[in-house]
Structure 1
Amino acid sequence: MENVSARIALLLPAYNSAAYLPEMVAQARHQTVPFAEIICYDDASRDDTAAVADGLGIKVIRGTENRGAAFARNRLLEATGCDWVHFHDVDDELSPLFVEKMASLLSNLRTAAVCATRKTWDDHSRPVRIERFPQLESEPDLLAFFLRHFIHLNAFIFPRAFLLEIGAFRDELRLAEDTEFEARAAAHGLRCRYLDEALVGWRIHPQSTTGRISRQVRWQYDQLYIKRLLEFLNAHYRRILGESWLYRAWWLYYTGQGMSDRRYLEIARLCGVRHLAGASMPERLLSRVGGPRTAFFLKKFWSRLRHGRAGAH
């Protein structure tokens, strides 16, 4: 596609982001191949996000009410005239080679370009992780893939027309809107081309959405997000979704993380899933009679008993 980079817009949803915008815009302007335009949506920030964006010389849309990232992205999508769009969180990293390398993957208006992601924690509580998805291009069932895996939106360039066609993001979702969107896009036939280079970063810090939202609020939006998914998933995909959440519940239970697993169990129940994929017949019977937690208890007990015996020899 000739000079496709001339039609890639950088779209920045921002809330209380005045401290991060200068670095983000600097990274955008240091691209070896420039973005066609940069637009920032200020989601009714309490700081001077809009003024900082103005001072940096980028286009600013001022929201009058805080509505969340999904609403902000939809307004940004409406505002640009570019064929291709890249959403980026303003507190995250962007390689100067992003546009140059990703533009070569853009050729089909129903196909997104995706790269690997460098995930970091500001408190150094976990080591740096490179999230790679080399199976993405050859994956025969992208809907099943996105029900099991999450790829940060920073890693994508999307065809704008396709996003508008499917209704883009759900305005009412303030959390998990990206997860719901990726699954719905796949259900509508989105394909992906993949570059196995970490050209974007994803930072976890106390002021990020991931860092500042309470578990209770997250749970409320998780329930809403699941209900939105169930509106378009058939029984086959509901089972895939439910098994994914039930596996998370098992992991939380096995590692002793309080009562958190109960919420994951509830989502699995909403999907009609009561036992793990590949569960033995006794596990299935226990799950049906006493619920998944009963099966988890015996599974954990048996696992530790076996490991204890192995360690004794």
Structure 2
Amino acid sequence: MNPLVSVIIPVHNGAHFLPDSLASVFAQEYRPIEVIVADDGSTDGSAEVAESFPGVRCLRLEKGGVSRARNLAVAASAGEWLAFLDADDRWFPRKLTEQVALGEACPEAGLVLCRVIHRFSVDIPEWFYGPTDGSAVTAYEPSAWLVRRAVFERVGGFDEARSLGEDTQWLSRAWDLGISHLVAEEIGLERHIHGANATGLIQNRRVVFDILRESVERKRARRAIR
């Protein structure tokens, strides 16, 4: 029997994007899945959109940020595997099938990524550094992740004090612990570049620098303990 995959979708005022995102989840070949939308204090009817899809469990939360929304959704889930999807992205139908098969065949791997193509609904932003010709590359954004629950619990949840870069910081913590990852070769994700992506803000706030500094400090602390 296939293991249960919990699909975690945080949303804040993403009612315009959410139907495509959820449709791509229910178009997955893989079963069984449970789908949990964590509505982070939306005022645009995002929760109502989520609840219009049979089989979706919607957590109506007060505004607390994407990290808190994801963490609460994980706490409410039951799957052996956790798959994250941002409300403005969408999956291709074999995304979970390919990732679960790869992860189940390699028990030592705690994280399975996939490949991504990008869809632009605005002019290409200055901060964007990926391919613009439809070429696929390995994705490191949460929408590409399939994480073993045991590994997520070992690493810990997303840092709720962070408003940006929480996903990069989580990966940094995982890799500092020696968590290994694999990449499913089939394209699994279409990432929507629409002008309001949080990634664009990261470039202006030195978030990546701070995450690298934290990683160095964690490593020094571990060496000091030894």
Q: TM-score range by the shorter chain?
A: 0.7 to 0.9
Q: Counterpart in 1 of 2:189? A: 200
What is the root-mean-square deviation in Å for CA atoms of aligned residues? 2.4
Structure with greater helix percent:
1
Q: Counterpart in 1 of 2:116? A: 117
Task: State the 1:224 CA deviation.
Answer: 4.8
AA at the equivalent of 1:101: E
Contact 2:165 2:202 in 1 (8 A): no
Contact 2:176 2:215 in 1 (8 A): no
Task: State the 1:128 CA deviation.
Answer: 3.5
Q: Counterpart in 1 of 2:52? A: 55
Q: Counterpart in 2 of 1:161? A: 150
Contact 1:106 1:113 in 2 (8 A): yes
Structure with greater Cα Rg:
1
Q: How does 1:137-156 map to 2 (within 5 A)?
A: 151-156=140-145
Looking at structure 2, the residues matched to 114 and 214 of structure 1 have their Cα atoms a distance apart, in angstroms, of 21
Task: State the 1:234 CA deviation.
Answer: 3.9
Looking at structure 1, the residues matched to 15 and 25 of structure 2 have their Cα atoms a distance apart, in angstroms, of 16
Task: State the 1:232 CA deviation.
Answer: 0.9
Deviations 1:149-190 (A, max 9, x none): x71121220001211122121111111111111111011121
Q: Counterpart in 2 of 1:231? A: 217
Looking at structure 1, the residues matched to 162 and 90 of structure 2 have their Cα atoms a distance apart, in angstroms, of 25
AA at the equivalent of 2:165: A
AA at the equivalent of 1:179: T
Aligned length: 212
AA at the equivalent of 1:203: H
Structure 2 portions without partners, runs of 5+: 125-130, 222-226
* Stretch moving more, 200-209 or 9-18: 200-209
Equivalent in 5, 13, 18 of residue 16 of structure 1 = 13
Which secondary structure does the structure 1 equivalent of 2:218 belong to? coil
Q: Counterpart in 2 of 1:300? A: none
Q: Counterpart in 2 of 1:143? A: none
Contact 2:172 2:211 in 1 (8 A): no
Structure 1 portions without partners, runs of 5+: 134-149, 236-313
Q: Please say if 1:177 is aligned against 2:166.
A: yes
Contact 1:92 1:202 in 2 (8 A): yes
Q: How does 1:63-74 map to 2 (within 5 A)?
A: 63-64=61-62, 66-74=63-71
Q: Counterpart in 2 of 1:127? A: 132
Q: Counterpart in 2 of 1:219? A: 205
AA at the equivalent of 2:156: G
Deviations 1:82-124 (A, max 9, x none): 1101001111121011122222112227521111111233224
* Stretch moving more, 188-197 or 103-112: 103-112
Looking at structure 2, the residues matched to 214 and 130 of structure 1 have their Cα atoms a distance apart, in angstroms, of 23
Change (3 A) 1:121 1:229: farther
Return the TM-score normalized by structure 2.
0.83
Task: State the 1:70 CA deviation.
Answer: 1.5
Contact 2:36 2:59 in 1 (8 A): yes
Which secondary structure does the structure 1 equivalent of 2:146 belong to? strand
Looking at structure 1, the residues matched to 30 and 171 of structure 2 have their Cα atoms a distance apart, in angstroms, of 27
Q: Counterpart in 2 of 1:253? A: none
Return the TM-score normalized by structure 1.
0.62
Change (3 A) 1:113 1:179: same
Looking at structure 2, the residues matched to 79 and 53 of structure 1 have their Cα atoms a distance apart, in angstroms, of 16
Identity of paired residues, percent? 24
Q: Counterpart in 1 of 2:128? A: none
Looking at structure 2, the residues matched to 210 and 156 of structure 1 have their Cα atoms a distance apart, in angstroms, of 16
AA at the equivalent of 2:120: W
Change (3 A) 1:17 1:23: same
